[in-house]
Amino acid sequence: MASLIDWELAARSAKNFSPPPPRVSRAEADDTIAELYRAAEVAAAQVAELTGLTEPPVTALTRVVDREGWIDVNAGGLRTVMTPLVDRLAAANKVGRVAESVGGRVTGMQAGAVLGFLSGKVLGQFEFFDRADGQLLLVAPNLVSVERQLDVDPHDFRLWVCLHEVTHRVQFTAVPWLRQHMLDEVSALSDSIDTDPAAMRDRTRAALGELVKVVRGQGDGSGLMAALATPEQRVVIDRVTAFMSLIEGHAEYVMNAVSPTIIPSQQKIEQRFGARRRKGGNPLDRLLRRLLGLDAKTRQYVDGAAFVRHVVGEVGIDGFNKIWTSAETLPQKDEIRAPGEWLARVHG
């Protein structure tokens, strides 16, 4: 049966859109892979010490992958997440089999273009949509490419990135309800989508207006998703934004709080990586980042890390960890930039 999104085509086209990997010898590739596995193990001990969170026996896979491997995992994960929504859209807007097949190829190519672009950007990821226990992905060619661009110590840089990604693994395994909370938010976002054709046309027109702003370098950096959202969805998006700011900021805090005896060049890496993130790449790269809302994600790192530093500075790591008690103790969007309000609400 045809689908509104041809996911197999999406994965194939993503691999065609993916940028060429850096040139390395077979021996260099093998050494990089082995070192990343070791760095993930070293990072786990540091994360446990810095977060005060107790990770259960690790059941999540740790995988060092290339860009094609990353694409396969994320195409599968997106398919799992989006299938209920796609089914609703298909049921509400009946189209002919031929039109559906053609539409599936078009949207498959579009999804592939996004995945292909992101496959050259992601350094690591804790993914839990494609596999229930989750999997820690470290994208070796991207790590090599960035460490060369920054001209930093490769061993320090790889461990620095592993600290960030292992922190995500610890968050979602040491806090048992966190994964289901994220899945529930994704479901809430999907359920709030208005499948009425007229309403979808109106939001599409709004998205086209946002597209013009993005091309002109205007807009707030939230991308087309916000323009397409209904008022009900924006409520969910605000909750998800706060949640992502928290977990990204927490990981950012950990990777930059590690002792200089563990990563001697950490300060240099942080400065150069931050400058690279702010610069945003070439003009086409910056345009795509704005379209996808990745500029907003950059703000999540900055705002979230500032929130965590403030709270830890006020009540210590044990006081901060009260944040993981339940969904009610998670910060709200406004509290991320005003951590004193979260402290007053949760700690009195």
Cβ-in-10-Å burial (0-12, 13-18, 19+) of 229 comes to buried
pLDDT at 174 over 50: yes
Angle between helix 67-92 and 97-119 (nearest 10): 150
Sheet holding 135-139, edge to edge: 61-65, 135-139, 124-127
Q: How far apart are CA 297 and CA 293, in angstroms?
A: 7
In this structure, the strands spanning 135-139 and 124-127 are antiparallel
- Please indicate, yes or no, whether residues 156 and 10 belong to a single structural domain of this protein: yes
Residues 209 and 290 in one domain: yes
Q: Which of 114, 143, 175 is the last residue of a domain?
A: 175
Do 146 and 221 fall within a single domain?
Answer: no
Residue 188 lies in a domain: no
Regarding whether 214 and 168 lie in a shared domain, the answer is no
Is 344 in the same domain as 267?
Answer: yes
Beta strands 135-139; 61-65: pairing state? parallel
- With bands split at pLDDT 50, 70 and 90, how would you rate the model's confidence at 156? very high
User: How confident is the model at residue 211, as a pLDDT?
Assistant: 46
Co-location of 122 and 227 in the same domain: no
For position 62, what pLDDT does the model report?
Answer: 93
Domain shared by 101 and 227, yes or no: no
What range defines the domain where residue 37 resides?
Answer: 1-175
CATH of the domain at 17: 1.20.150.30
Name beta bridge partners: 126.
136
> Where does a domain end: 175, 202, 218?
175
At 114, is the pLDDT very low, low, confident or very high (cuts 50, 70, 90)? confident
Q: Is 151 a domain residue? A: yes
Domain tally for the chain?
2
pLDDT tops 80 at residue 112: yes
Domain shared by 12 and 158, yes or no: yes
Do 218 and 157 share a structural domain?
Answer: no
Report, as an integer, the average pLDDT of 81-107: 63
Residue 183, domain member (yes or no): no
Look at residue 297 in the predicted model and tell me its pLDDT: 61
Is 67 inside any structural domain? yes
Average pLDDT rounded to a whole number, residues 233-252: 88
Task: Indicate if 216 and 335 belong to the same structural domain.
Answer: yes
Q: Which of the four pLDDT bands, split at 50, 70 and 90, describes residue 299?
A: confident
- Same domain? For 115 and 24 the reply is yes
Which range (50-64, 140-154, 305-319) has the least confidence? 50-64
More confident residue, 348 or 25: 25
pLDDT over 50 at 96, yes or no: no
With 0.75 as the threshold, say if the pTM is over it: yes
What's the whole-number mean pLDDT along residues 180-200?
74
Q: Which tokens go with 83?
A: 């299938």
